[in-house]
Amino acid sequence: MRQFEDKINSDPMICSGKSCIKGTRIPVHIILDLLAAGETYEGIKKAYPNLKDEDIEACISYAAFLTEEEAGVII
């Protein structure tokens, strides 16, 4: 099992099927956008108190997996 598989899911009935942290309505892309903007884990957890470090790390792992799957695509 990949590191993110128990933390990330996609359900067409939640957030229009966008990948979210399980048990929340927090889309993965929101967490990644915050990290890209320089936000710390502590800052993210302050904004989303129900998140743990493992949830944030799962978002990063999921993004890495997706970029690996898209290898060969030129931007």
What is the model's pTM? 0.85
Q: How many domains does the chain have?
A: 1
Residue 15: domain span: 8-69
What residue has token string 């128990």? 6
Q: Is residue 55 part of a domain?
A: yes
Instruction: Chunk the chain into consecutive blocks of 10 residues (it has 75) and report each block's average pLDDT, rounded to whole numbers.
Output: 86 94 96 98 97 97 84 52
> What's the pLDDT at 71?
57
The domain that holds 57 is classified in CATH as 1.10.10.10
The contacts of residue 25 (CB under 8 Å, 6+ apart) are: 14, 15
* Cα separations in angstroms, 21 against 34, 49, 50, 57, 72: 15, 13, 11, 11, 27
In a domain, residue 1? The reply is no
